[in-house]
A = this chain, B = another copy of it.
């Protein structure tokens, strides 16, 4: 039961048979200690090694989360909230053991309020499930990380995706949260008002807190009308600088594109192979335009002109909704496509975001560095936001590769920080970027974050060992 708790964690209580019985008193068979389940719950989709928790509880309600946290507080047991397990920086590894709170079965869409353009959902609702339920309303929820993550997990990591350039990230699209604090007390942050100057912005504090401050058990999110007209296109470019420069000009001119994604030649090859497509294997932009018909036509004309000036002329249009869905499905599966290029390898994604004027230089230098790496790499990104990934397909059993990957990641991140960018555009800190958190914010700001952590979670039971070293 007490698998692999590191020596420095002995200050935590032990999940023993008595403790399991207390959980089972209210959750019965939904408290699980089978090894396979524990291992599956301690490992995300990243290169980080897994750490199994000592128990998994599949919770059914805010009340059960509260009861679990009360017990864990009383016994000083670590708690790791779990959604779909799709995080990319080891967020759910139970490095100090403890209890994994699996929220994936709290998966009800509670209210869709079309006139107010908002919805309230349980945290286990996935982005695809929410959009399926919205299908007949004419509305949609835009935030779309590649994986079909849960909304609770997306809020916890401040996720974004391809639509962020137009619609913002989870930061802009969560109106209110229900959060269970480590004590078991339940709070609601925010209201359904679009804006507010009422008190500290607790919603934004919990969005991106990676399960280190509390457990999100309900979210109210913003919805948007599906645009009257939508056009999507794939545009190959002669070279990478041309494609990136086109993006920079589109953004600087303020053309309200819905999506503007860059993929380099190897990424296109991976997508063609994985999603059975026949796109030109050249540096490419995936574009989407949405709005009223004349506005879309105007945007398309403007972007066509900019692309042509930078060597991107051969627009391939997705003619209908089904074709558009296929196109974006291929883009969303980019990470899986990359991994399929080198079976058995792990995908170390990287995830920097820089001011747009530095993007071309940042990508060019990353590609120069990557050319020397002993493993395949590619570039894919939400370039309209200045955010890109350099997926590294690393053989985790080859120490030289791991060392080289760490060095390359380090180089890419430190360069982004020097450009006044961030070490993580959308994946978060987790286990993987704790040293960069310090490099980015400085020790005084980290001191403020730690003070907040200590104030809200004095026993440090919430997802310990993450974000802060």
Contact = CB atoms under 8 A, between A and B. Distances in A.
A344 interface: no
Contact of A197 (B115, B118, B292, B424): B424
A306 interface: no
A218 interface: no
- Among A198, A204, A452, find the residue whose CB has the most chain B CB atoms closer than 10 A: A198
A209 B385 CA distance: 27
Contact of A428 (B197, B252, B293): B197
A25 interface: no
B302 A298 contact: no
Interface in A242-261: 248, 251-256
Interface stretch (A97-105, A186-194, A308-316, A334-342): A186-194
Interface string A370-381: 000000000000
A467 interface: yes
Given A200-B452, A445-B202, A195 B425 contact: yes
Nearest to A416: B193
Contacts of A58: none
A217 to B, nearest CB: 14
Given A117-B252, A253-B225, A193 B441 contact: no
A199 B193 contact: no
A224 B254 CA distance: 7
A420 interface: yes
Contacts of A299: 292, 295
Given A197-B424, A200-B449, A187 B455 contact: no
Interface in A157-207: 157-160, 164, 168-169, 171-172, 181, 185-189, 191-202, 204-205, 207
A227 to B, nearest CB: 8
A86 interface: no
A301 to B, nearest CB: 9
Contact of A157 (B189, B197, B205, B451): B197
A437 B294 contact: no
A248 to B, nearest CB: 8
A351 to B, nearest CB: 8
A426 B197 contact: yes
A448 interface: yes
A424 B113 contact: no
28 contacts: A113-B355, A114-B252, A115-B252, A115-B357, A116-B356, A185-B444, A191-B420, A191-B422, A192-B420, A193-B385, A193-B420, A193-B421, A197-B208, A197-B424, A197-B427, A198-B422, A198-B423, A199-B440, A199-B441, A200-B205, A200-B452, A201-B201, A201-B205, A202-B445, A292-B302, A295-B298, A452-B452, A452-B456
